[in-house]
Protein backbone atom coordinates (compact mmCIF):
# COMPACT_ATOMS: atom_id res chain seq x y z
CA UNK A 1 0.00 0.00 0.00
CA UNK A 2 2.79 2.49 0.76
CA UNK A 3 4.16 2.11 -2.73
CA UNK A 4 0.87 3.33 -4.26
CA UNK A 5 0.85 6.53 -2.22
CA UNK A 6 -2.46 5.47 -0.67
CA UNK A 7 -2.59 6.17 3.01
CA UNK A 8 -5.80 4.82 4.57
CA UNK A 9 -6.89 1.21 4.83
CA UNK A 10 -10.33 0.63 3.37
CA UNK A 11 -12.60 -2.07 4.76
CA UNK A 12 -14.22 -2.94 1.43
CA UNK A 13 -12.42 -2.12 -1.79
CA UNK A 14 -14.31 -1.40 -4.98
CA UNK A 15 -13.06 -3.52 -7.84
CA UNK A 16 -13.75 -1.24 -10.81
CA UNK A 17 -14.03 -4.17 -13.18
CA UNK A 18 -16.20 -3.70 -16.24
CA UNK A 19 -19.17 -6.01 -16.72
CA UNK A 20 -19.13 -7.93 -19.99
CA UNK A 21 -22.04 -5.94 -21.39
CA UNK A 22 -20.14 -2.61 -21.29
CA UNK A 23 -18.92 -1.78 -24.79
CA UNK A 24 -15.20 -1.49 -25.44
CA UNK A 25 -14.06 2.11 -25.42
CA UNK A 26 -16.75 3.29 -22.98
CA UNK A 27 -15.89 6.63 -21.39
CA UNK A 28 -15.72 7.02 -17.61
CA UNK A 29 -15.67 10.01 -15.32
CA UNK A 30 -12.85 9.18 -12.92
CA UNK A 31 -12.09 11.18 -9.78
CA UNK A 32 -8.96 10.63 -7.69
CA UNK A 33 -8.71 12.24 -4.26
CA UNK A 34 -5.48 13.27 -2.58
CA UNK A 35 -4.82 12.65 1.09
CA UNK A 36 -6.58 15.29 3.22
CA UNK A 37 -3.54 15.84 5.47
CA UNK A 38 -4.07 19.57 5.29
CA UNK A 39 -6.65 21.74 3.63
CA UNK A 40 -5.28 22.66 0.23
CA UNK A 41 -6.40 26.01 -1.10
CA UNK A 42 -3.96 26.24 -3.99
CA UNK A 43 -2.57 23.84 -6.53
CA UNK A 44 1.10 22.91 -6.32
CA UNK A 45 2.24 23.95 -9.81
CA UNK A 46 5.06 21.38 -10.02
CA UNK A 47 2.74 18.55 -9.00
CA UNK A 48 -0.08 19.72 -11.29
CA UNK A 49 2.23 20.01 -14.29
CA UNK A 50 3.73 16.60 -13.49
CA UNK A 51 0.29 14.96 -13.18
CA UNK A 52 -0.80 16.41 -16.51
CA UNK A 53 2.43 15.20 -18.15
CA UNK A 54 1.90 11.73 -16.66
CA UNK A 55 -1.71 11.69 -17.93
CA UNK A 56 -0.56 12.73 -21.39
CA UNK A 57 2.15 10.05 -21.32
CA UNK A 58 -0.45 7.37 -20.49
CA UNK A 59 -2.61 8.69 -23.32
CA UNK A 60 0.26 8.61 -25.84
CA UNK A 61 1.25 5.09 -24.72
CA UNK A 62 -2.36 3.87 -25.12
CA UNK A 63 -2.71 2.97 -21.45
CA UNK A 64 -5.92 5.00 -21.53
CA UNK A 65 -7.66 7.38 -23.89
CA UNK A 66 -8.04 10.73 -22.16
CA UNK A 67 -10.62 13.26 -23.33
CA UNK A 68 -10.22 15.68 -20.42
CA UNK A 69 -7.94 15.88 -17.38
CA UNK A 70 -8.26 18.59 -14.70
CA UNK A 71 -6.21 19.02 -11.51
CA UNK A 72 -7.79 20.64 -8.45
CA UNK A 73 -6.00 21.33 -5.13
CA UNK A 74 -7.19 18.07 -3.54
CA UNK A 75 -8.47 15.91 -6.40
CA UNK A 76 -8.37 15.18 -10.10
CA UNK A 77 -11.21 14.80 -12.59
CA UNK A 78 -10.72 12.90 -15.84
CA UNK A 79 -12.79 11.57 -18.70
CA UNK A 80 -11.09 8.31 -19.65
CA UNK A 81 -11.63 5.23 -21.79
CA UNK A 82 -9.59 2.07 -21.25
CA UNK A 83 -8.31 -0.50 -23.75
CA UNK A 84 -10.25 -3.77 -23.65
CA UNK A 85 -7.12 -5.73 -22.70
CA UNK A 86 -6.41 -3.60 -19.60
CA UNK A 87 -8.29 -3.42 -16.31
CA UNK A 88 -9.40 0.06 -15.24
CA UNK A 89 -8.23 -0.53 -11.67
CA UNK A 90 -4.82 -1.77 -12.83
CA UNK A 91 -4.25 1.22 -15.14
CA UNK A 92 -5.44 3.81 -12.61
CA UNK A 93 -3.48 2.12 -9.80
CA UNK A 94 -0.33 2.09 -11.89
CA UNK A 95 -0.75 5.79 -12.71
CA UNK A 96 -1.33 6.64 -9.02
CA UNK A 97 1.80 4.68 -8.00
CA UNK A 98 3.93 6.50 -10.56
CA UNK A 99 2.64 9.94 -9.49
CA UNK A 100 3.02 9.04 -5.79
CA UNK A 101 6.68 8.14 -6.30
CA UNK A 102 7.62 10.82 -8.82
CA UNK A 103 5.74 13.76 -7.32
CA UNK A 104 5.31 12.73 -3.66
CA UNK A 105 1.52 12.82 -3.86
CA UNK A 106 -0.40 10.90 -1.21
CA UNK A 107 -3.66 9.46 -2.50
CA UNK A 108 -6.78 8.38 -0.71
CA UNK A 109 -7.44 4.69 -1.21
CA UNK A 110 -9.53 3.79 -4.25
CA UNK A 111 -11.21 6.16 -6.69
CA UNK A 112 -14.61 7.15 -8.03
CA UNK A 113 -15.70 6.08 -11.50
CA UNK A 114 -18.94 6.52 -13.39
CA UNK A 115 -19.61 5.19 -16.88
CA UNK A 116 -20.86 7.84 -19.29
CA UNK A 117 -23.95 6.36 -20.92
CA UNK A 118 -24.78 8.82 -23.71
CA UNK A 119 -23.65 11.99 -25.49
CA UNK A 120 -25.79 14.33 -23.34
CA UNK A 121 -24.23 12.91 -20.17
CA UNK A 122 -20.74 13.32 -21.66
CA UNK A 123 -21.47 16.98 -22.40
CA UNK A 124 -22.92 17.60 -18.90
CA UNK A 125 -19.99 15.88 -17.19
CA UNK A 126 -17.48 17.78 -19.36
CA UNK A 127 -19.11 21.08 -18.34
CA UNK A 128 -19.26 20.04 -14.67
CA UNK A 129 -15.54 19.24 -14.65
CA UNK A 130 -14.55 22.51 -16.32
CA UNK A 131 -16.80 24.51 -13.94
CA UNK A 132 -15.21 22.91 -10.87
CA UNK A 133 -12.46 25.55 -10.31
CA UNK A 134 -15.00 28.38 -10.75
CA UNK A 135 -17.52 26.73 -8.40
CA UNK A 136 -14.79 26.34 -5.76
CA UNK A 137 -13.74 30.00 -6.10
CA UNK A 138 -10.31 29.16 -7.51
CA UNK A 139 -10.81 30.86 -10.86
CA UNK A 140 -13.13 33.57 -12.12
CA UNK A 141 -13.61 31.92 -15.52
CA UNK A 142 -13.29 28.33 -16.71
CA UNK A 143 -10.87 29.41 -19.45
CA UNK A 144 -8.50 30.92 -16.84
CA UNK A 145 -7.84 27.63 -15.00
CA UNK A 146 -4.31 26.53 -16.01
CA UNK A 147 -4.37 22.92 -14.80
CA UNK A 148 -6.44 21.28 -17.51
CA UNK A 149 -5.43 19.12 -20.47
CA UNK A 150 -7.58 18.15 -23.43
CA UNK A 151 -6.45 14.79 -24.76
CA UNK A 152 -7.78 15.13 -28.28
CA UNK A 153 -6.72 18.72 -29.00
For residues 140 and 38, the answer to whether their CB atoms sit within 8 Å is: no
- Structurally, the chain folds into a number of domains equal to 1
- pLDDT tens profile 31-73: 999 987 656 778 899 999 999 999 999 999 999 999 999 999 9
Residue 88 lies in a domain: yes
Residue 19 lies in a domain: no
Residue 116 lies in a domain: yes
pLDDT at 112: 93
pLDDT at 15: 46
Look at residue 34 and give its three-state secondary structure: strand
- pLDDT tens profile 110-129: 899 999 999 999 999 999 99
Q: How many CA atoms lie within 13 A of 77 on its CB side?
A: 18
Q: How many CA atoms lie within 13 A of 45 on its CB side?
A: 2
Query: CATH number for the domain including 101?
Result: 3.30.70.1290
Main-chain phi, psi angles of 147, to 5 degrees: -100, 60
Give the integer Cα–Cα distance in Å for 79 and 66: 6
* Model confidence, pTM: 0.84
For residues 81 and 63, the answer to whether their CB atoms sit within 8 Å is: no
Residue 47 lies in a domain: yes
Residue span of the structural domain in which 100 resides: 24-35+43-150
Confidence of residue 2 (pLDDT cuts 50, 70, 90): very low
For residues 28 and 115, the answer to whether their CB atoms sit within 8 Å is: yes
Look at residue 142 and give its three-state secondary structure: helix
Amino acid sequence: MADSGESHPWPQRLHHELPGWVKDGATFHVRLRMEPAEERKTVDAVQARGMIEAAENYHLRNQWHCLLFLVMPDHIHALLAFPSDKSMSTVVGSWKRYVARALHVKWQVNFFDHRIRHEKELHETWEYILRNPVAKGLSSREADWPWVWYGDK
